[in-house]
Amino acid sequence: MAFWWTLIVLGFAYAICRLLLMLIPPNVPSIEVDASDVMDDGNQTQENSYIYIPPRTKTQQQDKRVQCYEPATMKYLGYFPALSRDEVKERVASARKAQKEWAKSSFKQRRLLLRILLKYIIENQELICEISSRDTGKTIVDANMGEVMATCEKITWLLSEGEKWLKPESRSCGRATLHKKARVEFHPLGVVGAIVPWNYPFHNIFNPVLAAVFAGNGIVVKVSEHASWSGCFYVRIIHAALAAVGAPESLVDVITGFAETGEALVSSVDKMIFVGSTGVGRMIMKSAAETLIPVTLELGGKDAFIVCEDIDLDHVVDIALRASITSSGHNCTGAERFYVHKNIYSSFVDKISERVKDITVGPPSAGKYDMGAICTQEQSEKLQSLVNDALDRGAKIVARGTFGHLPEGAVDQYFPPTVIVDVNHTMKLMQEEAFGPILPIMKFSTDGEAVKLANDSRFGLGCAVFSGSQDRARNIAWQIHSGSVAINDFATNYLCQSLPFGGVKESGFGRFAGVEGLRACCLVKAVVEDRWWPFLYTKHPKLLTYPVADNAFEFQMSLVEATYGLNIWHRLTALVNVLKMLSEHNTLTRNNPNINGRRKRND
């Protein structure tokens, strides 16, 4: 009894000590990042004070500049260079040189880097969100939820579990190599390349950077030409943190440009991560095939949102709006196809229509709008063409949001949230990625029909299933072919950073986040060594040494059955046969020492 009381007291003391340690704030250095040139204080120079009118055709490296402007107001923000192939290769070479030193860094140093970044992010949330809002048109609330929160979660997961999953991992040796020890080691790949889109400018940079650097790599990120202004500020945060831990700034780089810049990056790095459209993803794969580097592709999506009749309707409507209509929805591949059970179809449409009519679209800087701008003029035109195609095929618009006070030059950058009914899968709206605040709703009668509709897509990124019965929701979700699924919620998979994220079909392949994403930034090396060296090691029987004995194949067959046979008696019989052949061969060798493993033949 005294023994158990001792254990209880020790366990209680340990818990108290852990609690006290949690109350002691960690000693994390602070960093300063110059933000004077990105603060909207009304004192911009004359060069950066005018309204920008984007050209109707893509410049694609013509003037060697990436022009930056606020999509919500069309206010000009300046420009960054469109880097040439040689310039990209120079940046990658610098990152490669820095990586050779960083690969030797300890996990303690890497964790300190992450803690410094986390501290800065938490203390400067408003600045980070305002910059994201200005560069993409999203509201600062959505910038915080979709970017700051997700990034903090990723850092926290890496701090908690990252080292554990990158340490050598023991593996079983199997029957044939019981005298061996086996393990898997995870080594840095070198320099990772990433091409990321505009929709989450802060998180899209930090997401690949955090995993790559924690795994010991360098990384070069090409940001979208539509979010270069924010990306070139965000990398200052990373550089300041690197300097604080004594690492070279060139370990992480952000580059700007168009297609030529991206192509040069793919041909220069040791692994490629791409987040974007399916069409460009195919081109990335084609380029990567030239150097045979691994590729992770997170491409388009057409996520299904399935609503059964046994749910809390008001709750689901609220989630549906967040998933597809508000800024966090239209700035990403959110829910784009809604399938609602016929018994609640009318009620769902009525409730969501009422909510959409109350949504106002306007400049997010005003702080009173539910939605900001679509980032590009071309995207608004594409959304309208999808709506027009649906209307031509019999669909109906039942609700649209309203516009606030829009700047005269920015009207084409906005698209009102739109609810559409009487849709079907012959319409482009139900087959092509919309990437906008459109909510098309279809009805279904049975769970099987809902599954069939959800799987009728060339995409397979994510989906959501809502039902009052969790077993029913699980059964539906199990049948849907997608990379992730949320039951009675939407997109919370991504906030759970222990989970891998990625898609199937034309939504891409490979994963980032979680153990799978972290290890995808590594060279996975298999290692085998002797367990009891030098006392026991691999030594082939003399029957199998060259020149092999006449009965070598018979011996090998018996050895296989003795090792792997399904019936214990057959295995024992085979083992006896193995021992018998070894004994006979040893006797023959002793009597004929010049034979050397093969019976002497007559000429």
Task: Enumerate the active-site residues.
Answer: 298
Q: Which two tokens stand for residue 404?
A: 């606030």
- How many whole angstroms separate alpha carbon 140 and alpha carbon 372? 10
Q: Please, how many CA atoms are within 13 Å of residue 400, restricted to the half-sphere of its CB?
A: 9
Please, are residues 331 and 370 in contact by the beta-carbon 8 Å criterion? no
| Residues in CB range of 552: below 8 A, 6 or more apart | 543, 544
In angstroms, the CA 264 to CA 262 distance is: 5
> What per-residue string of b and e applies to 325-334 under the rule 16 or more CB within 10 Å gives b?
bbbbbbbbbb
Query: C-alpha angle 382/439/145, rounded to 5°?
Result: 95
- Cα 415 from Cα 382, distance rounded (Å): 10
User: Strand 169-171 and strand 180-188: pairing?
Assistant: antiparallel
CA 90: distance to chain centroid?
A: 27
For 546-555, give one letter per residue: b (16+ CB within 10 A) or e: eebbeebeeb
Distance, CA of 229 to CA of 285 (rounded, Å): 28
Q: Alpha-carbon distance 68 to 548, whole Å?
A: 74
- Report the length, in residues, of the chain: 603
Grouping H, G, I as helix, E, B as strand and the rest as coil, residue 184 is strand
Written as one string, the DSSP assignment of 493-530 is HHH-TTS-B--EETTEE--BSHHHHHHTTEEEEEEEEE
- Dihedral sign from CA coordinates of 595, 599, 602, 603: negative
User: Cα dist. 132→5, 135, 235, 293, 379 in Å?
Assistant: 56, 5, 13, 32, 19
40 touches 73 (CB < 8 A): no
Q: Tokens 């040069």 belong to which residue?
A: 264
Contacts of 294 (CB under 8 A, 6+ apart): 189, 271, 272, 288, 510, 520
Q: Are 164 and 189 in contact (CB under 8 A)?
A: no
Rounded to a whole number of angstroms, the distance between the first and last alpha carbons of the chain is: 83
